Structures are given as structure tokens and as C-alpha cells.
Amino acid sequence: MDLFANLLLGFSVAVSPINLAYLFAGVMIGMVVGIIPGFGPAAALAVLLPVTFGMEPAGAVIMLAAIYYGSQYGGTITSILLNTPGESSSVASTFDGYPLAQQGRAGPALVMQAIASFVGGTFGVVLITLLAPPFSQLARSFGPPEFFLLVVMGLSTLIVMIGGNWRLGLISALVGLALGTVGVDLETGNSRFTFGSAEMIGGIDFIPIAIGLFGLGELYYAFYSGLHVSGTGGIVQLQKEKRFWPELRDYVETRWALARGSLLGFVVGVLPGAGATVASLMSYSLEKSVSRTPQKFGKGAMAGLVGPEAANNAASSGAMVPLLTLGIPGSAATAVLLAAFVLWGLTPGPLLMAQKPEFAWGLIASMYLGNMALLALNVFAIPLFVQMIKLPYRILAPAVILVCTIGTYSVNGSIVETWLMFGAGLAGFFMKLHGFSPAALVLALVLGPLAEQSLRQTLAISRGSLGIFLERAPSLWILGITAAALVVGMAMRRARDPG
Amino acid sequence: MRAGFLAGVLLLASGYAWIAFAELAWLSSAGRLGPGFFPRIIGATLIVMCAWSLGAELRHGARERLSEFWRVTLVLALLSGLFVAALDVLGGLASMIAYMAVTLAFLNRRRHWQNALLAVLLPLGIYLLFRVWLNAAVPRGLLPF
């Protein structure tokens, strides 16, 4: 009964006219962000954070969360029509989405991806509704050893599961942890790495770093890759489509892909560090391996589009579970959401649902409505978004740089932070160019202070013995899940790169 | 190129570790873990990982070729840097207009009217959004807006 009462409370918050307006604005912005290659939800959330300063906390977080999960929908439109994923989590959707469009089935592909995204996203929200309260209850038994292990789990999973060289991923995370130690040590009051600068005493704010790495850095890299000249020449013309709606066999053939993708996506999303990209790639591999016609994959198999789409949306919902119940973000985008929570005086973690039920349940309820709005937008407003795809990158990029710069300055009115954002942009470009992981850096920067504090507390409790990590049941569970995630991650790497 | 980047990170990591070991104590005066405990672990691990990766890169790394678009990227980065530098001098609105005018003239050539319109309207929109609607900080510079 508590569940329904809480959900009703949540809907009473979410359906207020102003929050509905914020929700709709959020899903629209999310769709647009998803469409722009090289501008991900992490950068968009960081840039738009200052825009929410004048809002009520619930409305602000409802809008930011809608941008986050809305971008998962938008990223696929360019995957299908242009063979260019708007987001990394939409990469798997290019494998069969673009071939479908080339075969004159762009309309059915777009509608099926919208339905898959809706089912995956809504399935994820239903599971959040059911699982967040027991998770929250369970997390109350967690102490410093468990929180330290959760941080280790998030970072190690991210490093292993993201493609590329794991050593470079680890270096990225270590740089993030190092940046997280700048400022006053809260236990002793000593200044660390501040070089006498008053601006550095409070530590390095991760908002300018996130905007620089994911906004500027990605844009520079997009130019370096020639995205500004490739343009939209290869776009599949949707206007010429006669058969816009999917056929009955499309629904029948993909029903199990939909179910498997949703479940797999949610489970992967709950794991800190794994995220929507990993979920969609795993789902694609799974669908190909269980299919009776694996030879059709890569040539326009609807299941190869539907499975990953359901998975990445379920994963983005799943990532809300550790964020809301543990205060542990699993990706760069949810790290920015965490910053938004903190900015509004809310502390995500085991007590959030008990102390601020109207906020936590308002957010969850808004996700049901947000997914419905996104389904309608994706089916009925596709021509509008297709026009946006045609906006030239050479005009879009300077506009985004403008917003990144002014957005960074407006957070604290600091020109030092604006320079920091610019420096992070250059660093982000070189990191991307050389195979490092900006996401691992940002996540480590956010989680670093928690990791240091919880490790020091743990060692103080155990009098310096690391054996404490093996003595407590919750710690052993987290260690076990981490080990399993790492094994799966390594198996995925081996499958991707047999050499 | 990657080796050069790794060498740069190694250099920074060495500086970080040197400060952690030389200036920050492992234990506090109360006998608890001190401010240098975590940075020393991070610094030492970072040096080991950078040295390992640099060694592997020097042994097996393939020679990377510059993209044909490196000049555009460099100009774009320089213009962004100049934009940040101009904020304190010209102020938010004037810097935005100047940045958009120059960048669009470089990227979106021969579309003078379109560029002029965008260079004025977009900065004005962003200025109104942040300064007027959100009442957020926008750089003032030497000019009054």
C-alpha cells in the first residue's frame, strides 16, 4: 500500500502544470541533445544546470532527468537516418537501423525504435518503483567499507566495459581521483595542491570540467574527424516514405527482443559504471546469438534495432537506482544529475526516499509521463527532428561553444572556472584522440572525495586492516558483483578484440 | 603523439606525487590517516601506470597521422581561447557577438547575411536568457553590458 501511496504522492507533484511544462521542455531538449553528434547528455546537463537556478528543486530535477533519458531517444534518429549515432549508446542502433532505412523502411524503423525505447524506459521505471524502496532500505545497512567498494565497483566496471585500452581508462580515472584531492582536507584542515590560490581551497568544481570535457572536447574532436564537412549528405529522405507504420510481423518478430533488451538493460544500468552503451552492445550481441537468422544482422534485422534500443533506455532508467538510493552515479551524465541534487540541497542516498518522498517519488512519477511524451514526440514529430538534423554543424558548433562558455561562467561568476573549462576542453580533445576516457575522469572526480573519506574511515574502524572488506556480508556481496561484472566486461572485450 | 601525451601526463603525475610525498603527511598529528595518505597512493599508482603505458606505446605504438582537418580544429580552439580571454575585457554580450562573427566568417563562408544575423541574434538571446530571465552572472568587462 505504501508503494501506491508514494506513487500517488509522486504523481501529484509531477502533474502540477509547472512541473509538466518543465518535463515537456526537458524531453524536447533531450531529443535535440540526442540528435546533435558530439554533444552528449553530460555536457547538456552541465550547461543547462545554471538555467535551472530560478526553478523549484522538484521541477529542476524533473527537467534535467528528462533531458538525460530523452537524449537516449533522440540519439537513434540520426543512427537510423544518417548512420551517425547522436549518442554513444545509439551506436548499436546504426548496425541494423541504417540498413533498414536504406531498404526504404526508415518509417517502420523509427516507429519501432520509439516503441522499443518507450517499453524499455517504462519497464525500467516500473522496476525503479518496485526496487528503489527495498534498495534504499538495504543501503541503510551500508557503512564506509561498502561505500568505498561501491566506488571501486563503479570505476572498475566503467574502465573494463568501455572499449579501448584499459590502462588508459585507469589513468583517466586516477587523474580524476587526483583532481578530487585538490582543496582543503576535511579531516585535518590542511590545504592540498592549492598553490596558495583562494579559488582552489574549495576544490575543483566538476561542472566546468564536465562542460569542457564533454562539450568543448567532443566538439573539437568532431571537427578533427571532419564531421563539419560530412554534413547530412547521406541522410535517408523520410519524406519519400510511403510505408511509415510497421507491419504486424515487425511487432511479432521483435516481442522477445523487446523483453530481453529491457531486462538486460535495466540490470546493466543498475551496475554503477556499466551504463546504456554497454547495455545496448550486450543486447545486440545477445539478439544475434539467439536469433534463428543471425546472417540478417547488420543487413536490416528489426530485432537488432529493437533489442539495443529497449536496453539503452532501460539502462538509463536503471542508472537512477544507485543514484537515488546510494548517491553513487554510474556515468558522467548521472554524475551531473548528482551535482544538481546537491545544488538543490538534496542528498541522494539511503535516506532520500524517507526524508524527501515528494521529491524522490515526484521524479519517478515524472519518468512515466516523460516516456509517454517521448513516445508521442518520436512518432508524431519526427519530421521536425529530421529538419534539425539538417542544421549544419558549422553553425551549430559555435553556438554550442557559446552556451558552454557563458553557462560555465554563470555557475559561480568565475573567470577562473571558465578558463578551467577551456583547459578541460583541450584535455578532453586529446584524451578522446588518444583513447583515454573522459567519462572515467569525471566519474572519478565526483566519487574521489567519497572514496577517500570512506577508505580512511574504513581503515580507522579496522585499525588499518584491509580484512574488513571480507568480514561483512554486504561487502562480500559487492565484491562478488564487482568480480562478476569484471568477468563479463573482460569477456566482452575479448569478444570484441580476439587478438 | 600518444607517447607525447602520456609523457606529459607522467610529468604532471610526478609533480603531483612529489608534492604528496614531500609536503603532505601520511599520518596526522593525532595518529590518524593524514592528508597525504590518499594522494600518495594515487600519485604512485599514476606514475606506475603512465610509465607502463608509455613503455608499451614506445615499443608497440603505431605512428599516428594528423587528420586533414587539424588546422580547422586548431583555429576553432584558438578562437574559443580568445573568446574566454575577451570576456573580461569586452564583457559577455560584445565578446559573444565578436566570437560568433569571426567564427562564422571562418566556418560558414560566403553567407554574410546569415552570419551577421546569427552573430547578433544568438548572443542577444543567450544574454537575455542568462542575464535578464535567469538573473545569472554574465561577464561585465570594461563595457557596461
Confidence of residue A90 (pLDDT cuts 50, 70, 90): confident
The pLDDT assigned to A198 comes to 82
Residues A460, B33: C-beta atoms closer than 8 Å: yes
Report the chain A residue with the minimal C-alpha distance to residue B63.
Answer: A434
Smallest CA-to-CA distance from A142 within A484, A496, A476 is with A476
Among B residues 24-53, those touching chain A with beta carbons less than 8 Å apart: 24, 28, 32-35, 37-39, 42-43, 45-46, 49-50, 52-53
* C-alpha cell recorded at residue A237: 529522405
Decide if pLDDT at A171 tops 90.
yes
A-B interface: how many C-beta pairs under 8 angstroms? 165
The one-letter code for the residue type at A87 is: E
For residues A40 and A277, give the distance between their C-alpha atoms in angstroms, rounded to a whole number: 12
Residues B130, A174: C-beta atoms closer than 8 Å: no
Q: Return the exposure string of A233-250: e unless at least 16 CB atoms fall within 10 Å of the residue's CB, then b.
A: eebbebeeeeeeebeeeb
Confidence of residue A235 (pLDDT cuts 50, 70, 90): low
Smallest CA-to-CA distance from A275 within A257, A93, A496, A283 is with A283
Contact of B58 with chain A, judged by CB distance below 8 Å, is answered with no
Decide if pLDDT at A165 tops 90.
no
DSSP string over A37-55? TT--HHHHHHHHGGGGTTS
- Within 8 A of A402 by CB-CB distance, chain B residues are 96, 99-100, 122-123, 126
Whole-angstrom CA distances from B129 to A49, A51, A77, A414 are 13, 8, 29, 18
CB A350 within 8 A of CB A158: no
Phi, psi at A97, each rounded to 5°:
-65, -50
For residue B42, give the nearest of A165, A178, A225 by CB distance.
Answer: A178
Tell me the pLDDT tens digit for each residue of A256-296. 999 999 999 999 888 877 678 888 888 998 898 888 888 88
The pLDDT assigned to A168 comes to 92
Report the chain A residue with the minimal C-alpha distance to residue B12.
Answer: A175
- Within 8 A of B52 by CB-CB distance, chain A residues are 167
- Of A157-166, A246-255, A417-426, A453-462, least confident by mean pLDDT is A157-166
Decide if pLDDT at A184 tops 80.
yes
Decide if pLDDT at A93 tops 90.
no
pTM for the structure as a whole: 0.86
Average pLDDT over residues A238-242: 55
* C-alpha cell recorded at residue A256: 522477445
The pLDDT assigned to A499 comes to 47
The pLDDT assigned to A18 comes to 93
Smallest CA-to-CA distance from A88 within A337, A322, A279 is with A279
For residues A14 and A27, give the distance between their C-alpha atoms in angstroms, rounded to a whole number: 14
The pLDDT assigned to A236 comes to 62
Q: Coil, helix or strand for A16?
A: coil
CB A313 within 8 A of CB A266: no
CB A106 within 8 A of CB A382: no
Q: Coil, helix or strand for A264?
A: helix
Residues B72, A228: C-beta atoms closer than 8 Å: yes
For residues A270 and A213, give the distance between their C-alpha atoms in angstroms, rounded to a whole number: 25
Residue keyed to cell 527495498: A134
Residue keyed to cell 536469433: A291
What is the percent of chain A where pLDDT is above 90?
30
Smallest CA-to-CA distance from A137 within A284, A351, A306 is with A351
Which segments of chain B have a pLDDT < 50? none
Q: Return the exposure string of B106-118: e unless at least 16 CB atoms fall within 10 Å of the residue's CB, then b.
A: ebbeebeeebeeb
Contact of B77 with chain A, judged by CB distance below 8 Å, is answered with yes
Whole-angstrom CA distances from A413 to A47, A206, A406, B139, B141 are 14, 15, 9, 7, 12
Decide if pLDDT at A498 tops 70.
no
Tell me which of A271 and A1 has the higher pLDDT. Answer: A271
Smallest CA-to-CA distance from A72 within A124, A21, A35, A24 is with A35
Tell me the pLDDT tens digit for each residue of A96-136. 988 988 888 888 898 999 999 999 999 999 999 998 888 88
Average pLDDT over residues A473-479: 91
Smallest CA-to-CA distance from A337 within A39, A35, A26 is with A26
The pLDDT assigned to A346 comes to 79
Confidence of residue A497 (pLDDT cuts 50, 70, 90): low
The mean predicted confidence, pLDDT, of chain A is 86
Tell me the pLDDT tens digit for each residue of A131-154. 888 888 888 888 899 999 988 988
Tell me the pLDDT tens digit for each residue of A327-372. 888 778 888 888 888 777 777 877 888 888 888 899 999 999 999 9
Contact of A196 with chain B, judged by CB distance below 8 Å, is answered with no
CB atoms within 10 A of CB A308: 39
